[in-house]
Amino acid sequence: MSERVVAGGRTAGLAPVLAAAATTVAVIAWLAAGRPGGVVVGLLAGPVALLAGTVACQRIGSMIMLPRPVRGFWRRYSHAGIVLLIASVVAIVRHNADPGLSIFVAAPSVLGVLMAMSAYGYLPLGRRGPLAWARLLIDGATVAVCGALVFWYVVLDLGPAGTPQSTRGGAAGVAVAGLLALVLIGAAVMSPERPVDPLSLRILAAGPAVGIATATMLVAGGQTGRMWLSPLALPLAALSMAAAAYRQRRMLGRPPATRSPRNRTAHGALPLLAVAATAGLVVTVSLEQMTARQRGVIIGTVLIAFLVVSRQLLGLRENRRLADSMRTQQAELEKLAMTDPLTGLANRTRFGSVLSERLDSHQPVTVLLIDIDDFKMINDTMGPALGDQLLYQVAQRLRNNSAVRELPARLGGDEFAVLLSLDEAADAEDAAARIQQALAEPFTVGEHHLLANASVGVAIAGPGDGADEVLRNADIAMYAAKEAGKAAWVRFEPRMRQEVVNHARLGSELHNAIIRHELFLLYQPVFDIVTGRLHGVEALVRWRHPVRGLVSPGDFIPVAERSGLIVPLGAWVLREACSQLAFWKGEHGDGAIEAINVNVAVRQLREPGFVDDVAAVLSETGLLPRNLVLEVTESSVADGRQVRETLQALHEMGVRLALDDFGTGHSSLSLLRAFPVDVLKLDKSFVDGIADGEDRGRLAVAAAVAQLAEYLQLSAVAEGIESEAQLDRLRDMGYRLGQGFFMARPLPAGEAGALMAVPVLPAA
């Protein structure tokens, strides 16, 4: 909500201030001009200004968006204004009969002041314990007693002898009440909760101050003082009311200012001043009216009192210093707890709390979740120190990006987040694209130039969303961006959550599937497409789901990879496939295939014990390493040092490695040099449509892969052959091995074994 909406702009509420100010200025002008009848002018100006002040307080007291106690406070002030207004009218009426301060005027005036003071009863003056209340009472009593004493001894003494008793009493009452009001206002300003704007309160303090001054002048002031102050008193007090109300209105919708410790000292000084004044008074009186001995005792007593108070003050100061340093330390600790030590950005805790605050106050919020692509590989290959430097530079770029106007944070690892105060999809996407572009520029880390793309998830907070929900949505979108091939941004849509839920359900069902033996293997033959002989088989896992029926690995393998279930699942596949080959070898002897192909996910390769597990399975099933071909994808080869070492160890053991779905990855050619590969499996997409020669690009890749394999002395397998035309064309290109529905679908073990007895290509 903008301030304008609530408060109605700068000029709203200004009229009463102007009216009160104009009245005051008019009185001053009249007095300054030395015109006679100043008192009458003042008497007439009083009610006018009071009316303005009262209206201003009454208006602010009826503003529904203010908290109830604050409204009560201002309403009570307006009631006080009405009573004072009555007093001022009475003063006009009784002016001729009673030129001094009559009881008829003094009584409602004191009542008005008391009512104004009672307004402070509406304010929660902080969470005060009994001790703090006692201190407030003692402060009030100190100031009141001192005020009364000073008034009694000094002011009344100074006044002309003929001053009527009622004037003296009334003036003393107003002065003491004014002092008490100042103590109360001080306490309200110091209140940690500060429901009423503190500057408003200070402006209001002008009222009692003027009251005290007027009461004093009325009794003790000379002719001039009286001439000036008594006509100005009411207009000034009323002006302070109007101005304070205006200030409060201007502060609507702004967060309350925090209290600075210096103000506290200033407001705590009033009772001390009172004590000092009383001491001064006692000494003065003793000098005038006592014997030397008595005077000595009195002065000694006052001195002792001073020493005790000074000692107390020193202790107080020390306490305050300690409290301040504790506060600083605490602030320091809080800051540390909220900052990411590596990058200096906000951490997850701070990001979460700011996000919650925004959501609670219904402000527009968008969260961008940024994850560095393949950071793990960079960290593994370049070492954690360089990884840290890269993260630091990413943080710098986020900080300096013009799209990031607020709170960039590092949530942990290579995950960053940005909070934006907008809720338009186009703006959010624009910001995501800009950040993504900025991060796509190469980084210079040490002497290396690194490319660190980022995947960005964009989540716009919907009504009623909590911080966790928005972060989760951004996370889901970020994963979608990763799955879409990384280096991209994706905006969250509710259907994505459903997909995640489905995956989660599938994940838990898959867990049971492994226990309940719902998985089984099919074997797709691989043929020598020149001789038509069976060359090998690829083991392909299937899931017979009790309700869904047959679930394809394309649906559950990604789920298994994400949940880590692929590790036990893959171990089972490997053991099952190897046992099956051992069985075939026993059954068909030389007619059996030489090797079996087993797919392996990158997650399995990351397991530290993978090489040992493979060796164990081979020895348990009595196979040789050359009887096993492990199929891995290009992206898994690029995963990092650990995976590369695993593959190297397998190669050295004698297990053959095949690059599956070859041609779809990013860096095929450079990988071939670094990676101990034995077999290239040309991806099905290059085989599709190869026959009619329409797609020259794919045709070229298919031909190139065959030649590459020949030069590097690798075997090449064409996958997904669905027609005779494709088969012929691939054979012409130089492919020796092929796999596809045209020759055979994935078959149960029995049917695949039968082919070993009659190794003839069905179509040949």
* 219 touches ligand C2E (CB under 6 A): no
* 536 touches ligand C2E (CB under 6 A): no
* 563 touches ligand C2E (CB under 6 A): no
H or E stretch at 712? helix 696-712
- Rounded Cα gap, residues 521 and 538, in angstroms: 10
CB of 558 to ligand C2E, least distance (A): 9
Q: Judge residue 89's burial from the number of C-beta atoms within 10 Å of its C-beta, 0-12 exposed, 13-18 middle, 19 or more buried.
A: middle
Site residues (CB under 6 A) for ligand C2E, limited to 660-689: 660-661
Contact letters for ligand C2E, residues 407-446 (x by CB under 6 A): ----------------------------------------
CB of 687 to ligand C2E, least distance (A): 8
Q: Which of 391, 541, 672, 737 is close enough to bind ligand C2E by CB under 6 A?
A: 541
Contact letters for ligand C2E, residues 704-723 (x by CB under 6 A): ---------------xxxx-
Q: Which stretch binds ligand C2E (CB under 6 A): 128-136, 377-385, 426-434, 546-554?
A: 546-554
* 506 touches ligand C2E (CB under 6 A): no
CB of 563 to ligand C2E, least distance (A): 13
Site size toward ligand C2E, by CB under 6 A: 23
CB closer to ligand C2E, 399 vs 516:
516
DSSP calls for 741-763: TTT---B-HHHHHHHHHS---TT
> CA of 179: how far to CAs of 103, 147, 186, 240, 244, in Å?
20, 7, 11, 17, 19
- Rounded Cα gap, residues 698 and 696, in angstroms: 6
**Other Cβ atoms closer than 10 A to 316:** 12
CB of 524 to Mg ion, least distance (A): 9
Scan for tokens 């996370």, then name that residue: 475
- Rounded Cα gap, residues 248 and 63, in angstroms: 11
Q: Which stretch binds ligand C2E (CB under 6 A): 412-420, 471-479, 579-587, 595-603?
A: 595-603
> CA of 646: how far to CAs of 2, 352, 612, 621, in Å?
61, 40, 10, 22
Distance in angstroms between the alpha carbons of the first and the last residue of the chain: 79
Q: Which of 102, 230, 286, 599 is close enough to bind ligand C2E by CB under 6 A?
A: 599
CB closer to ligand C2E, 457 vs 720:
720
CB closer to Mg ion, 631 vs 634:
631
- Rounded Cα gap, residues 432 and 491, in angstroms: 9
Q: Which stretch binds ligand C2E (CB under 6 A): 147-155, 331-339, 596-604, 704-712?
A: 596-604
CB closer to ligand C2E, 373 vs 719:
719
Selection from Mg ion, ligand C2E, none that 540 binds (CB < 5 to 8 A by kind) is ligand C2E
* 637 touches ligand C2E (CB under 6 A): no
* 112 touches ligand C2E (CB under 6 A): no
- Rounded Cα gap, residues 580 and 223, in angstroms: 121
* Sign of the C-alpha dihedral computed for residues 557, 562, 565 and 569 taken in this order: positive
Give the side-chain half-sphere CA count within 13 A for 699. Answer: 11
> CA of 718: how far to CAs of 6, 601, 680, 681, 714, in Å?
72, 21, 9, 6, 13
* 613 touches ligand C2E (CB under 6 A): no
Scan for tokens 């600790």, then name that residue: 333
CB closer to ligand C2E, 396 vs 664:
664
CB closer to ligand C2E, 363 vs 552:
552
* 557 touches ligand C2E (CB under 6 A): yes
Contact positions vs Mg ion (CB under 5 A): 599, 631, 660-661, 719
* 634 touches ligand C2E (CB under 6 A): no
DSSP calls for 192-221: TT--S-HHHHHHHTHHHHHHHHHHHHHHH-
Query: Which residues, listed in sequence order, are joined to residue 536 by a DSSP beta bridge?
Result: 526
Q: Residue numbers of the site for ligand C2E (CB under 6 A)?
A: 524, 540-541, 552-554, 557, 570, 573, 599-601, 631, 660-661, 719-722, 739-741, 746
